[in-house]
Amino acid sequence: MFHPTVFDNIKISFENQLYDYDNLDGILVITDRSDLLNLALMSREFSLSFKLLSGRNITTEVFLSSSVKDLSDEILEAPDTDPGCNLSLRFYMEIEDIDVQCPAVERVLSSIWGPELKPVQALSFMYGQDNDTYNNCVELKFNRQITEEQMEDIPSLLNHLLQSAEELENI
């Protein structure tokens, strides 16, 4: 019988909550889901993307990853380890005024998540594109691993995530 890992348990917790927000509460729509196992590195990646029904300009993504070391520490019950996975939250949006909108994004996210979780913004554009629109990928990367002990915090984290998406819609 398959024994779920910490990664699997956290992944399913995020999935259940987000699909409930889609199917039961009707506040968002899931737009993409990816669950990958990299056999060369023996790593795992999971992402779930959604858009708010009230907005539609921002795509939000929950991204979990786990390395072979995380998995081996858990399976081998390595002493002095606390197996977990890495969590990143991403927001994808189009912007036109870099000098105004990028600082506004940083202010919004810093006010919600605090100064210890600094947003990283990566801008790109399509060469030869006629308009002056940039694609902005904003990432909040947690500096520590997420373990099963933090599973109780997932509803609160998702509330902050939804609030972030709502406020970014207004930029």
**pLDDT score of 71:** 85
The answer as to whether 145 is a domain residue is yes
The answer as to whether 46 is a domain residue is yes
pTM above 0.75, yes or no: yes
Q: 148 is in which domain, residue-wise?
A: 6-169
The answer as to whether 165 is a domain residue is yes
**pLDDT score of 2:** 60
Percent of the chain with pLDDT over 70: 98
Mean pLDDT score across all residues of the chain: 93
pLDDT(3) > 90: no
**pLDDT score of 75:** 83
The answer as to whether 124 is a domain residue is yes
pLDDT(55) > 80: yes
**pLDDT score of 37:** 92
How many domains, the chain? 1
pLDDT digits (tens, 9 = 90+) for 16-38: 999 999 999 999 999 999 999 99
Over residues 29-52, the mean pLDDT reads 95
Q: Which of 14-23, 41-50, 75-84 has the lowest mean pLDDT?
A: 75-84
The answer as to whether 123 is a domain residue is yes
* Cα(112)–Cα(117) distance, integer angstroms: 10
The answer as to whether 99 is a domain residue is yes
The answer as to whether 1 is a domain residue is no
pLDDT digits (tens, 9 = 90+) for 89-129: 999 999 999 999 999 999 999 999 999 899 999 999 888 87
